[in-house]
Structure 1
Amino acid sequence: MTSWIRFQSSEGGVGFGVLEDDSIAEYTGDMFGDAQPTGARRNLKDVKLLSPCVPSKVVALWNNFYALAEKLGKAPPTHPLFLIKPPMSVIGPDEPIRRPKAYSGKIAYEGELGIVIGKRCSDVSEDEAEQYIFGYTCINDVTAIELLNEDPNFAQWCRAKGFDTFSCIGPVIRPRADFDWRAAHVKTHLDETERQNYPLSDMIFTPAQQVSLISQDMTLMPGDVIAIGTSVGVGSIKDGSSVTVSIDGIGSLSNVLSARV
C-alpha cells in the first residue's frame, strides 16, 4: 500500500516520495498534482521526516464523536463545530512541542484522524466530497487548556490551540483508497500508558460529510487538513513526556513536550 511522506535530506533539501519498507522512492512535481517518480531512492534512516503536507490551514472539529458528546452531556451538532489553526502550528514526527514562554499552565493532547485535501474544494456535495480527499494522516491537536476560558467574555479556542508546534501531523498520508476509516481505531499513548483507544466508526459527521459541509463555509486547498475531532481520554502532558498517536493502516506519530527555554 502507498504511503506519501515529506522529508529533509542530509544535504538540507526538502523532498517527497512514497515509503517502501525502509526506503523512499523519490518523486518530483506536486504531490497533489503532477507527481512523477525520479527513479532515485533514499534510505529512510538517512532523512528526517517532516509533516507529510504543508496546509494553508488546519480545520479542527469539536464534539464529533457520540461517546464524548454523551460524556460531556452535549447534543450532537447539526453542522461541524470547528476552529482554524494556523500553518505555523504544524510540525512533523519527532519534532518537539514547545511550551509557550508566557504560559505555565496545563497542556492537553488530543489524538485524532486527519483528512488531507487533494484538490481545491468549494461548495461540493456529499456525493462529490470523496474525490476531494487525498488521504488520511494522524494528528495530535494540542491545547493550552487554561487559556480557553481565561477571559470569561470570550472563549479563546484559536489562541489556545494555535501556538507554534501545536498541530503535530504525520508520519505519512495514506491514500483514501487504501484506508478504511470505518474499521480503524485511534490509540494515544502518554509515555508508555494508553490513554485513548476509540473507534472512528463512532464519528458524528463522516469524512465526506465534513468535507462537503466545511467546503460550504470556506474553500479548502490541496494539502489542507481537517482534524476530525477526538473522543474520550483527553488529558494533560507534563514537560518531557511524549505523546504517540497511532492509527492502524497509517502509523504512529510521536512528539515530546519540551520545557520553556
Structure 2
Amino acid sequence: MKLVSFKECNEIKIGILHDDVIYDLRKVYASYLKSQGDNLAEKIAAVRIPRNMVKLIEGGEKAYEAVTESKEYIVSMGNKAEQELKGKKLEDVELTAPLIPRTIICGGANFHDHLDETNRSKPDEVEFFLKSPLCVVGPNETVEHEPKVTHKYDYEVELGIIIKKPGRFIPVEKAFDYIFGYTILNDISARSRQVIPWGEENFQLRFGEGKNYDTGSPVGPWIVTADELVDVSNLKLRTHVSDELRQNNNTKNLIWDVPNLVSYYSQFMTLQPGFLLASGTPGGPALGSDVELGADPYEREDGVKRGGYMKPGDVMVLEIEGIGQLVNPIDKVR
C-alpha cells in the first residue's frame, strides 16, 4: 500500500493512493464500517485512523488492520470507488511529508563509490548521526538556499526505513519484523559546515551544523508499506539535478544492508514507532568533486555527470525503484 499525508482545508490528513487517486483514509474506513452495519462507524474511524502518520503507526496491528480493510474496500468497489468515496486525482492533491518522524537516524559511509570519491577508507562499523525532524519538508516544497548557512548545498538520495514497533538489540534476522515501510529521504548537506579543513591534510566532520537546518530533509512522496515492497535488496537509486544525472546506484551495493542497519542502530537506543532510518547515500554528490574538501573525483562510466553544488533555481529529482520520485526545487527564500 502507498500511504500519503495531504493538506485539505488547512488540515493534514492521511490518505491512501490507489490507481493515481488519493482517498481520505478515515472517510473510507468509516464508509467501510457503515457497510458492515456499524452504528459507531464515524467514532471508531476517528480513533483507528488519526490525522498523524506517526500516531497511525503507533496504533499497531489494529490500526494497520483498518488500513488494510480500507484498501480492500476501495478495490472491491472498482470503478465506482473514486466517485462514491470522493477520491481525488493525485495531481489535484497537495502532498505533505508522509510523516514527521520522531527522530531521524542517518547512515553514512555506506557505499563504496562514495567512499572512493571522498578519499575515505571503509569504517569498521556503521557511521551514523541524528538529524532533527524539524528539518523535514514534503514533496515539491522549496529547499532554502540560505547563504548564511552555506554556499555549498549538496543532495543525497537515501532509502528511508520507517520503524513500526519498539525494539532494542534487534537480531539481524528479525529486523524486517520491525519495519513499517519505506520512503525517500534527501539528506541535504551544508558541506562548508560539515567538512572543515584541520591542519594541512586532515578534515574535521561536523554533522550538527552540517546536517541540521530548516528544510534540510525532504521526505516523500509517500510511504510504501513493507508488505508491498518486500524485497529492498535490489532497488535502483538515482538523482537528477536540473535534468543532469548525478547519482546512480543500487541498494544491492550497500555496505551494510537494511537489516544490518536496523540491528546496529538498535544497539544504542530503543527504536520507536515513527523513527526514520536513512540508508546512507551512494557516490555522486558534489562533495565527491570538491578537491578543496579532500575529494578524489574519478570519471564514471554509468552516465553520472560530475557537477558542482546546487544553485538557486535548481530542481532535485530523487528516484528509488519501487517507491517513486521525490521532487524539490532549491531557491532563495529571502
1: CA distance between counterparts of 2:250 and 2:170?
27
Residues in 1 aligned to 2:331 and 2:16: alpha-carbon distance in whole angstroms: 30
Residue 109 of structure 1 pairs with residue 150 of structure 2: no
Cross-structure match for 1:42: 87
Q: Which among 55, 62, 86 is matched to residue 132 of structure 2?
A: 86
1:173 maps to which residue? Answer: 223
* Structure 1 counterpart SS, 2:219: strand
Structure 2: distance between partners of 1:113 and 1:128: 19
Aligned to 2:282: 231
**Deviation at residue 146 of structure 1 after TM alignment:** 0.5
What is the DSSP-based 3-state SS (H/G/I as helix, E as strand, rest coil) of the residue aligned with 1:181? Answer: coil
Per-residue CA shift, 1:56-94, capped at 9, x if unaligned?
A: 111111101123223444333332101111011011100
Match status 1:76 vs 2:74: no
TM-score, normalised by the number of residues in structure 2: 0.73
Say yes or no: does 1:241 pair with 2:314.
yes
2:165 counterpart SS class: coil
Amino acid corresponding to residue 221 of structure 2 in structure 1: P
Name the residue aligned to 1:60. Answer: 106
Taking structure 1 as reference, are residues 41 and 127 closer, same or farther at Cα in structure 2, changes over 3 Å only?
A: farther
| Distance in structure 2 (CA, Å) of the matches to 1:221 and 1:155 | 28
Looking at both structures, which has the greater relative contact order when contacts are Cα pairs under 8 Å and sequence separation is at least 6? 1
Hey, what does 1:217 align to over in structure 2?
268
1:10-30 Cα offsets, whole Å, 9 max, x none, are x11111121012222322234
Which AA in structure 2 matches 1:70?
A: D
Partner SS, residue 8 of structure 1: strand
Structure 1 residues without counterparts, runs of 5 or longer: none
Corresponding residue number in structure 1 for 2:167: 121
> How many Å separate the matches in 1 of 2:20 and 2:226?
22
The Cα of 1:41 is off from its aligned counterpart by 4.1
Q: 1:119 offset after TM fit, Å? A: 1.5
Aligned to 2:237: 186
Contact 1:244–1:254 under 8 Å retained in 2 = yes
Normalised to the residue count of structure 1, the TM-score between the two structures is 0.92
Q: Is the 8 A contact 2:98 2:221 kept in 1?
A: yes
Is the CA contact 1:239–1:258 (under 8 Å) kept in the aligned structure 2? Answer: yes
* Greater helix share, structure number: 2
| SS of match in other structure, 1:138 | strand
Segments of structure 2 that go 5 or more residues without pairing to the other structure are: 26-48, 74-84, 287-308
Q: CA deviation at 1:216?
A: 0.9
* Structure 1: distance between partners of 2:219 and 2:196: 27
Root mean square deviation of aligned Cα: 2.0
Amino acid at match of 1:227: A
Distance in 2 between residues matched to 1:18 and 1:112, nearest whole Å: 23
Deviations 1:186-239 (A, max 9, x none): 010001111111011000111111011101111222221111111111122111
Q: Count residues in correspondence.
A: 259
Instruction: Give the share of equivalent positions with the same residue, in percent.
Output: 30
Q: Does 1:162 align with 2:212?
A: yes
> Hey, what's the Cα distance between the residues in 2 that align with 1:143 and 1:78?
24
> Of 49, 56, 59, which residue of structure 2 is paired with 1:31?
56
What is the rounded CA distance, in whole Å, between the counterparts of 1:17 and 1:208 in structure 2?
28
Q: 2:259 aligns with which of 191, 208, 230?
A: 208
Q: Is the 8 A contact 2:251 2:257 kept in 1?
A: no
Q: Is the 8 A contact 1:54 1:224 kept in 2?
A: no
- 1:104 Cα deviation from its structure 2 partner: 4.6
Among candidates 17, 20, 28, match of residue 18 of structure 2: 20
Q: 1:116 Cα deviation (Å)?
A: 1.1
* Counterpart code for 2:224: R
SS of residue paired to 2:23:
strand
Relative to structure 2, which stretch is displaced further, 24-33 or 38-47? Answer: 38-47
The offset of 1:257, in angstroms, is 0.8
